[in-house]
Amino acid sequence: MQNYNVSFGNKEIIFVVEQFGSPLWFYDFEVIKKRIGDLRSFDIVRYAQKAAPNVNLLSRMRHLGLAVDAVSAGEIVRALKAGFAPSQIKYTADIFDKEALVLVKEHSIPVNIGSSDMLAQLHEAGIEVPLTIRVNPGFGHGHSQKVNTGGEFSKHGVWHGELEVLAQNAERLGFTIECLHTHIGSGSDFAHLSRVVSAMEGLVPAACKNLNTISVGGGLPVSYKRGKQNNMNLGKYYDMWDNARKRISESIGHNIQLEVEPGRYLVAESCVLAAEIRAVKKMGKNLFYLVDAGFTDLIRPAFYGAYHHISIISRTNKELGKEVDAIVAGPLCESGDVFTQEEGGTVVSRKLPLAQVGDLLVIHDAGAYGSTMSSNYNSRLLAPEILWENETFIPIRKRQTFEQMLENELAFC
């Protein structure tokens, strides 16, 4: 089937919707395995699980030798549930909430600190764990301003000019800084990512002599638009960092490891969101396809103006009609519940086959920041997640029920 990165096709999508209803998330783990293979040159591949944190995916990644990043207490719990050893988990944040601090202490989980206050709070809690410092290099980039994680308007990391003082304080308090980490944003291009190399080399002298790892962060781009190839030369990217690693190792007198922290790159292309067209209507000159999935399922278009390839599957085995200009929107009581929009909320149309009620609409490359950012807004139920593995359909999350949605609300008269 054309335009699919996954190995399943129309037949499997129709079958899985008939079995589990719509909307639903449909993953192909073979895609994730291939993307992991792309990064095997790095010493450590640490998955940024916030992109897609289902424990079934995490467990499979663990079996493939990955480490894992956790940005909350809940993600620590998920990683432990998936079988990761505490030493394979790294808590990365700019603050500690109370639950995270308890779990870090209980399990001796390494910490990637993004503020000097975190260092003080570790010391006050009597926690001794290996430390990484996340450094804001003073610049950032990303496919949207909302994913730019560097520069003066970003909350993330320790400002590069404060690194030396923080490192000295850490050493005074008895901490060992084993790793420096920097990440400038998701979807960054090669030119911007390459700037991090020289920034990292300049930061190392301000850190400490015990450094054994540098983390290059994530942000590797994914080609969401069909026909537009990913221009990221991963071999060149690795060589650039490997050469920097050699120079840094020579300068500090011992070898260091290279760690990469992909999230979106590993999972984005592995999943589609399948929905059913429930209404086809004209609004003036505009044709709308209204589907049973909304931004409560996939928020990226509404939040970032993100583009996702869209295709139509006929449920009647009839040949689809000629292409028309159509706007794709969801069922929510929100004008912004539109899948075909650009950053800033500008609604646009797509060239799609003429469809009818009951046909399936497939939103592609939805594995990253798809299911994980779903919500119960409008009291909508969370959709199920199904895994396609060894040509078998494996449910990895059930559809939420109304009872589950309400179970934590306190009833009173």
Residues noted as catalytic: 333
Q: How far apart are CA 7 and CA 1, in angstroms?
A: 9
Q: DSSP string covering 283-295, please?
A: ETTEEEEEES--T
DSSP 319: P
Closest CA to 226 of 310, 300, 142: 310
* CB atoms near residue 61 (< 10 Å): 24
- In the chain, % helix, strand, coil (3-state, to 5) comes to 35, 25, 45
Contact 343, 144 (CB under 8 A): yes
For 303-320, give one letter per residue: b (16+ CB within 10 A) or e: bbbbbbbbbbbbbeeeee
Q: How far apart are CA 200 and CA 241, in angstroms?
A: 10
Q: How far apart are CA 224 and CA 402, in angstroms?
A: 34
Q: How far apart are CA 116 and CA 348, in angstroms?
A: 45
**CB-based contacts of 172, cutoff 8 Å, min separation 6:** none
Helix (H) / strand (E) containing 394? strand 392-397
Closest CA to 35 of 367, 384, 350: 367
Contact 216, 260 (CB under 8 A): yes
Supply the angle between the helices 98-107 and 73-81 in degrees, to the nearest 10: 40
- Within 88-181, residue ranges assigned H as helices are 98-107, 116-124, 163-172
191 CA to centre of own chain: 21
Closest CA to 112 of 130, 136, 126, 86: 130
Using CA atoms, how far residue 27 sits from 179, 188, 252, 303, in Å, is 33, 25, 44, 23
> Strand pairing of 350-353 and 360-363?
unpaired
